[in-house]
């Protein structure tokens, strides 16, 4: 059975979950900058995921 908290029915849900995952990892001291190969088992495509830090000017 699928975890309902991990449901990704649309792009907005994907972005929301990805944002939450990255923030939680950062808060726990995990170095998330880099790249990962995601194996596409069971007929799904393989993916290359890259995470980089973006420096943005602070709002005044």
Residue 6 lies in a domain: no
Residue 45 lies in a domain: yes
pLDDT at 60 (0 to 100) = 55
CB 16 within 8 Å of CB 5: no
- Structural domain for 36, as ranges: 32-60
Unique residue bearing structure tokens 């991990």:
6
pLDDT tens digits, one per residue of 7-55: 899 999 999 999 999 999 999 999 999 999 999 888 999 999 999 999 9
Residue 50 lies in a domain: yes
Domain count, the chain: 1
Residue 15 lies in a domain: no
State how far the Cα of 8 lies from the Cα of 44, in Å rounded to an integer. Answer: 16
pTM of the entire predicted model: 0.75
Residue 19 lies in a domain: no
Residue 22 lies in a domain: no
Instruction: Report phi then psi at 35, rounded to 5.
Output: -130, 155
pLDDT at 59 (0 to 100) = 65
Residue 40 lies in a domain: yes
């Amino acid at each position: 059975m699928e975890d309902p908290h991990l449901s990704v029915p649309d792009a907005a849900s994907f972005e929301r979950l990805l944002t939450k995952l990255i923030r939680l990892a950062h808060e726990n001291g995990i170095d998330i900058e880099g790249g990962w190969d995601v194996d596409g088992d069971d007929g799904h495509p393989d993916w290359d995921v890259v995470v980089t830090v973006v420096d943005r000017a602070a709002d005044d």
